[in-house]
Amino acid sequence: MCGRYALDADIDLLIERYKAIIAEKEITTKSEIFPTDFQPIITESDGRNIELAKWGFMPHYAKRPLINARGETVYEKPTFRKSFLKGRCLVPATAFFEWEEKDNKKIKRKISVEDVTIFSMAGLYEDFISKEGNRFRAYTILTTDANTQMALIHDRMPVILSPEDEDKWLDPGQTDIGKLRKLIIPSPLHLIIE
């Protein structure tokens, strides 16, 4: 699970990192992002875009936002199937947080990727209608089994895409489930756990 993450970088760095244009004027980043916060995601539609979206899918039946989707079954679930095929995004991050249970205490750990300033978590986005009738865009972060480093802390982790797989994930023409599933793996990148 990924319940909080960080994007501690300015917007100019995001533009440079993703070679993207800003779709929104007021984009800010945070050192700790919580579910339902509006944060930047990277989408591909007539070019690469940085846009704001709310963290957590809100289908009509959900009692709380769906902030994560299990990567192993995401393409089978009606809630995520359409977005998996037509609404994939990158969720830029500088770190994510996980709580390690040790001696009956929960210790908050900050996890980043070695030698990578901003990394990309695999995400999905979709538009929803609020109870007040307003349209908003929301995103969810895909998770997978923990790699060997993360397994010491938790059994799940966000899907962290390697830079060479980011284009494959964003490609709106890619609808081959088999090829997309090959990108949903525990990260082989070296993590820094604080």
Active site residues: 2, 98
What are the φ/ψ torsions at residue 21 (nearest 5 degrees)?
-105, 155
Nearest to 188 by CA among 153, 170, 163, 167: 163
67 CA to centre of own chain: 9
Instruction: Give me the phi and psi of 78, to 5 degrees please.
Output: -55, -35
